[in-house]
C-alpha cells in the first residue's frame, strides 16, 4: 500500500481574534500549505466542518479551488481524526493528490457557546432528556466522572492532576492561552465553582477562538520533516445520555484497537500522547480505553507525575484544550501538535527522540472516537 504523509501543519490565530471563521480558515490553510511548500493551486481535496451547512463546499469556493474529494462529516471534536482516515483512502485510491484538513472557530469572539447546548426539538434526546435540564455536554461528562470517583480511589486528585499537568505544558508553549500564567494546585481545581458535580469550572476546557490545518499527500519531498500515517481506527457509540451501558468504557477501546492493529505497534511504543481533553475526565477514560492503563489505572498514571514535562509519559504537550486552546472542536490541534513533536519543532516543550505519536479525538458526549498513529520518517 502507498504511504501517506502529513507534510504541512499549522495553527491559525488563537485565543480572542475578532476575526471571521473564513478568515481564520484561510490563515490555517495557507500557513499549513506554506509549511509544506505548496499553494492552494496544489490542493484537490478538502475536509472541514463548522463553517456552514455546506462546509467543505463553502471553503473550496472561498479558496478558489474545485476539489475532487471533499468531506464535511460532522462528528464533533473527533471529526479531524476521522478525516485523516477518509483522506488516506482517497489519496491511495487516486481520487485526489493533496488533501487539506482544516478547522477554525471564532466562538469566543462571537460568544456563540451556551450551557444547554443546541436542542434539536425533533430528536429523542430533546423528548426524553432535555425536559430534565442536563447541561450539554457537561452533565454527561460529569456523570462519567461521578462514576469514576465512585469506583476509583484518588479519582478526584487524578482529575485535578490532568489539569495541573496540562498547565505545566502550556507554560512552555508561547501560543497557549494560559502561557505566562502560573502553575495550578489541586486546590485551584477543586476549589473552583462547581458547575455539574463533581466537575468544577477548572475541570472544563477553555472557550477560545482558534483552529488549524494539516496537509496530506503521498509525495514526500522533504524527508527530514516527514511524518507517516501508520494507523487509524474509529468507533461511534451514542447520541443519548442513556445508550452506553458502562460509563467507564468508551468507544476508544475499539478505535484504539483498530489503530494499533493497523500500525503493528502497541501502546508501549508511543512516545507522545495527544488525547482530547474537553474535560479532565475525558483524559482518564481515554487513556484507559486506549490501553495505556487498566480500568481505574489512569488515576495512578496521572498521580505518578509522569505526564508532566520531563516525565516518561508526555501527555497533551501543547497544554491541551484545558490550557492551550479549545475552539469548540479541538481535534485538528491534536494532530498539529503530534506532527510538530515528531518533527522536533516544539522548543522548550519538545519531547526528546519522539518517533511515534498518537492523537485521539473524542466528540459529542463521549460519542465519537477516532485514533490516529503517526511515525517519524527516519
Interacting residue ranges for other proteins, rule: CB under 8 A: 114-117, 119, 121-122, 124, 126-136, 139, 142-144, 146-147, 150, 193-199, 240-243, 245, 247
Least distance to other proteins, CB of residue 243, Å? 8
Give the residue among 79, 120, 84 at the shortest CA–CA distance from 214: 84
Cβ-based nearer residue to other proteins, 53 or 122: 122
Indicate the burial class of 285 (C-beta count within 10 angstroms; 0-12, 13-18, 19 or more).
Answer: buried
CA distance 361 to 197: 24
Task: In angstroms, give the least distance from the CB of 150 to other proteins.
Answer: 4
Q: In the bound complex, what is the minimum distance in angstroms from residue 203's beta carbon to other proteins?
A: 12
Nearer to other proteins, 18 or 112 (CB): 112
Q: What angle do CA 333, 73, 163 make, to 5 degrees?
A: 30
CB of 156 to other proteins, least distance (A): 14
Q: How near is the Cβ of 365 to other proteins at its closest, in Å?
A: 11
- Rank residues 64 and 245 by Cβ distance to other proteins and give the closer one: 245
| Helix or strand run (H / E) with residue 53 | none
Q: How far is the CB of 124 from other proteins (least distance, A)?
A: 4
Cα–Cα distance measured from residue 310 to residue 333, given in angstroms and rounded to the nearest whole number: 22
Which one, 157 or 195, has the nearer CB to other proteins?
A: 195
CA distance 154 to 134: 26
Give CA 375 to chain center in angstroms: 18
Sequence-distant (≥ 6) Cβ neighbours of residue 208 within 8 angstroms:
14, 15, 16, 107, 108, 177, 325, 326, 327
Q: Hey, is 156 helix, strand or coil?
A: helix
Q: Which of residues 199 and 263 has its CB atom nearest to other proteins in the complex?
A: 199
C-alpha–C-alpha distance, residues 146 and 166, integer Å: 21
Give 5 or 279: the residue with its C-beta nearer to other proteins.
Answer: 279
Amino acid at each position: 500500500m502507498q504511504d501517506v504523509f502529513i507534510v504541512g501543519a499549522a495553527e491559525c490565530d488563537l485565543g480572542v481574534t475578532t476575526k471571521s471563521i473564513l478568515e481564520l480558515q484561510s490563515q490555517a490553510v495557507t500557513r499549513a500549505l506554506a509549511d509544506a511548500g505548496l499553494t492552494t493551486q496544489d490542493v484537490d481535496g478538502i475536509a472541514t466542518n463548522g463553517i456552514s451547512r455546506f462546509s467543505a463546499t463553502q471553503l473550496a469556493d472561498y479558496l478558489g479551488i474545485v476539489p475532487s474529494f471533499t468531506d464535511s462529516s460532522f462528528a464533533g471534536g473527533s471529526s479531524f481524526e476521522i478525516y485523516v482516515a477518509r483522506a488516506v483512502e482517497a489519496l491511495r485510491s487516486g481520487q485526489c493528490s493533496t488533501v487539506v484538513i482544516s478547522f477554525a472557530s471564532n466562538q469566543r469572539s462571537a460568544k456563540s457557546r451556551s450551557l444547554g447546548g443546541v436542542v434539536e426539538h425533533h430528536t429523542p434526546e430533546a423528548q426524553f432528556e432535555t425536559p430534565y435540564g442536563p447541561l450539554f455536554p457537561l452533565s454527561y461528562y460529569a456523570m462519567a466522572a461521578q462514576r469514576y470517583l465512585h469506583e476509583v480511589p484518588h479519582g478526584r486528585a487524578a482529575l485535578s492532576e490532568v489539569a495541573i499537568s496540562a498547565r505545566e505544558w502550556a507554560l512552555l508553549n508561547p501560543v497557549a492561552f494560559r502561557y505566562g500564567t502560573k502553575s495550578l494546585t489541586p486546590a485551584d481545581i477543586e476549589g473552583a465553582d462547581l458547575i455539574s458535580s463533581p466537575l468544577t469550572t477548572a475541570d472544563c476546557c477553555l472557550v477560545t477562538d482558534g483552529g488549524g490545518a494539516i496537509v496530506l499527500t503521498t509525495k514526500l519531498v522533504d524527508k527530514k520533516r516527514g511524518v507517516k500515517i501508520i494507523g487509524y481506527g474509529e468507533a461511534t457509540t451514542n447520541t443519548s445520555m442513556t445508550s452506553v451501558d458502562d460509563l467507564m468504557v468508551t468507544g476508544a477501546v475499539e478505535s484504539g484497537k483498530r489503530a494499533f492493529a493497523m500500525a503493528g505497534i502497541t501502546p508501549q511504543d508511543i512516545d507522545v500522547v495527544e488525547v482530547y481533553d474537553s474535560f479532565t475526565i475525558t483524559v482518564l477514560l481515554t487513556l484507559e480505553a486506549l490501553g495505556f492503563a487498566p480500568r481505574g489505572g489512569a488515576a495512578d498514571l496521572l498521580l505518578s507525575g509522569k505526564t508532566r514535562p520531563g516525565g516518561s509519559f508526555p501527555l497533551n504537550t501543547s497544554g491541551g484544550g484545558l490550557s492551550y486552546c479549545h475552539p469548540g472542536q479541538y481535534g485538528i490541534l491534536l494532530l498539529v501538535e503530534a506532527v510538530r513533536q515528531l518533527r522536533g519543532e516544539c522548543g522548550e516543550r519538545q519531547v526528546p527522540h519522539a518517533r511515534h505519536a498518537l492523537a485521539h479525538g473524542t466528540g459529542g458526549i463521549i460519542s465519537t472516537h477516532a485514533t490516529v498513529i503517526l511515525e517519524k520518517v527516519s
